[in-house]
Amino acid sequence: MKGRSFLFLRKTTLMQNRLAFAGFCIVLMLCAAALAAPFIAPYDCTAINVRAILLPPSPQHWYGTDELGRDVFSRMLFGARVSLAVGFVAVGIATVLGILVGALAGYYGRWMDSLLMRCTDTMLCVPDIFLVLTMIAFVGNSIWNIMVVIGLTSWMGVARLVRAEFLTLKEREFVAAARVAGAGDLRIMFVHLLPNALAPVFVSAILGVASAVLMESALSFLGLGVQPPDPSWGNILMAGKDTMETAWWLSVFPGLAILTTVVGYNMLGEGLQDTLNPRTRGDGR
């Protein structure tokens, strides 16, 4: 089927839109730095050095050191692995759950649609941070629990997108032809309808990674996320909140990393949205 199909995510899409291409370059560099962290980090990210406490940025320590003498640049690299892993896994969980809920609601309609959308609306009424904090209070704050909790509390947008696409697509001729050919409901939903509804879901997932990174950073800043000595951008930022006047680098560098990541994913998502949807195409081309 032609139109707003996921198949239109060709490799030339990024080159056609400057905003998307710039975001892709930022995301690619961040992911490359995270993957290469064990090879390019100049120091052990957990090694304590009492002779190098709170040293400012220098050729030996590019981003300075923290209150325990640990190299901030090395901790930033390994923190990127944690933050991006949380983003990808949480968004994966949210996307799968959102697709299931949206597909069932959009395809069957009637009472199924009403029930699932009322549940979705109820979840949307509660601020994400309160949902996450409540669930973490019950299951604990290990890194895997954080990934699952963020995923289970951020599927609602994907569900609404998939539902809207299914409501439109299920009335098309190719769906009627599939029914006449004897295709069952599951085959129609996941073989014929879902591939044609993935473009907005893909964009939503990209934007969702930025939200998940922000949520993980907020939890770690509050002391409820990744626990020291394991590094994450949030707990590095938390360590610098009491020494902002004397050790500004502990706040500036992780803050810039979070900002760059969020901006990069938002640029990529918005640029792809403009490219894939001609009705919203702007000046990024």
What is the reported pTM?
Answer: 0.84
Task: Give residue 261's identity as a one-letter amino acid code.
Answer: T
Q: What is the pLDDT of residue 159?
A: 93
Evaluate whether residue 283 is within a structural domain.
Answer: no
Residues 6+ apart with CB under 8 A from 86: 143, 146, 147, 150, 212, 213, 216
pLDDT tens sequence across 113-131? 899 999 999 888 888 888 8
pLDDT tens sequence across 58-67? 998 899 988 8
94 has pLDDT over 90: yes
Name the residue range of residue 261's domain: 25-278
Evaluate whether residue 284 is within a structural domain.
Answer: no
pLDDT tens sequence across 53-92? 888 999 988 999 888 889 999 999 998 988 888 889 999 9
Between helix 143-152 and helix 128-139 the angle, nearest 10°, is 140
Question: Under the phi-then-psi rule, with left for phi > 0, alpha for psi from -120 to 50, and beta for the rest, what region is 47?
Answer: beta
Q: What is the pLDDT of residue 260?
A: 93
pLDDT tens sequence across 156-215? 999 999 999 898 888 888 888 888 887 788 888 888 888 888 888 888 899 999 999 998
Evaluate whether residue 185 is within a structural domain.
Answer: yes
- Distance (Å, whole) CA 10 – CA 15: 10
- Distance (Å, whole) CA 162 – CA 167: 9
Tell me the CATH number at 134.
1.10.3720.10
